[in-house]
């Protein structure tokens, strides 16, 4: 007998692109998936809440970064605003990056090299973020990114970097959004990576390499990833943050099949 031990979610930013955003959310919900969104400031939050969809993740800030005093204040203030929206949507997790991202995912303030002081500031900032999450009963997720293809100049981007920061903070309200598309490009050795991250994982995001499309379109053998996650006791969110190679509904079904196990 086949079963899916994970909560499967879809980024509404990347599929059903011919539909208005709220209609995308309705379609994803109707197909039995949870929903993830990016920048909430461009959305009709009341309309999204009215869809009845299960929202698992949303971007947890508007501007700012982890290291520069004025930008830290912006990050904390916008994280607080984001928590208010998360409550409206019933969304348990809010996503963060090593720095603010602008157009095409490029860092607003690119960094050539992270210094020791930047690491210390990032850790202190994330401690404050975790306290905000604790007060609101939410979890912030720090996502790893790749700097080779999609996000050059982003500090704290590697999975090893994000994991080190999360372990240093040591709060259940700050976890890792382990994006395996980004990790495959930047680091590889994915099964060893997820096992090393272990309880620090708050969500797994996926797309295939190259192309950032649904499982089965590239080099990552996602059924093996699914077995490894199940074997280590992970039963949380697995989110498809990738483009559809063709028909969006077919792409979602391929994603579901990749994370369906034989009993």
Task: Single out the residue of 138, 164, 166, 153 nearest to residue 58, CA to CA.
Answer: 138
How far apart (Å, rounded) are the C-alpha atoms in residues 25 and 15? Answer: 10
Whether 241 is a known active-site residue: answer yes
DSSP state of 135: H
Contact 159, 121 (CB under 8 A): no
User: Which phi and psi (to 5°) does residue 78 adopt?
Assistant: -75, -25
How would DSSP label each residue in 181-216? HHHHHHT--HHHHHHHHGGGEEEEEE--TTTSBSTT
Whether 214 is a known active-site residue: answer no
Q: Which stretches does DSSP call E strand in the chain?
A: 2-3, 7-11, 34-36, 55-59, 93-96, 139-143, 174-179, 201-206, 237-240, 261-262
Per the residue annotation, which of 36, 143, 203, 214 is the catalytic one?
A: 143
Per the residue annotation, which of 36, 203, 214, 241 is the catalytic one?
A: 241
174 beta partners: 140
Task: Single out the residue of 212, 185, 183 nearest to residue 195, CA to CA.
Answer: 183
Q: Is 215 left (phi over 0), alpha (psi -120 to 50) or beta?
A: beta
Q: Between the CA atoms of 26, 30, 34 and 40, what dihedral angle is there, to the nearest 10 degrees?
A: 0
Known catalytic residues are 143, 241
């Amino acid at each position: 007998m086949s079963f899916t031990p994970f909560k499967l979610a879809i980024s509404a930013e990347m599929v059903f692109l011919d539909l208005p955003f709220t209609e995308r959310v309705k379609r994803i919900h109707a197909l039995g998936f949870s929903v993830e969104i990016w920048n909430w400031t461009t959305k009709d939050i009341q309309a999204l809440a009215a869809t009845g969809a299960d929202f698992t993740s949303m971007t947890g800030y508007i501007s700012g970064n982890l290291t520069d005093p004025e930008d830290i204040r912006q990050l904390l203030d916008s994280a607080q605003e984001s928590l208010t929206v998360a409550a409206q949507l019933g969304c348990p997790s809010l996503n963060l990056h090593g720095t603010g991202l602008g157009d095409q995912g490029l860092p607003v303030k690119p960094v050539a090299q992270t210094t020791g002081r930047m690491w210390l500031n990032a850790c202190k900032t994330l401690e404050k973020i975790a306290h905000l999450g604790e007060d609101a009963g939410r979890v912030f997720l720090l996502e790893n990114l790749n700097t080779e293809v999609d996000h050059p100049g982003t500090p704290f981007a590697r999975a090893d970097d994000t994991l080190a920061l999360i372990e240093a903070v040591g709060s259940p309200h700050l976890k890792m959004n382990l994006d395996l598309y980004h990790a495959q490009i930047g680091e590889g050795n994915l099964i060893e990576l997820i096992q090393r991250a272990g309880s620090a994982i708050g969500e797994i995001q996926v797309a295939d390499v190259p192309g950032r499309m649904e499982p089965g379109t590239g080099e990552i053998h996602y059924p093996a990833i699914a077995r490894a996650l199940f074997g280590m006791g992970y039963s949380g969110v697995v989110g498809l943050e990738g483009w559809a190679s063709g028909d969006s509904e077919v792409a979602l079904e391929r994603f579901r099949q990749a994370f369906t196990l034989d009993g």
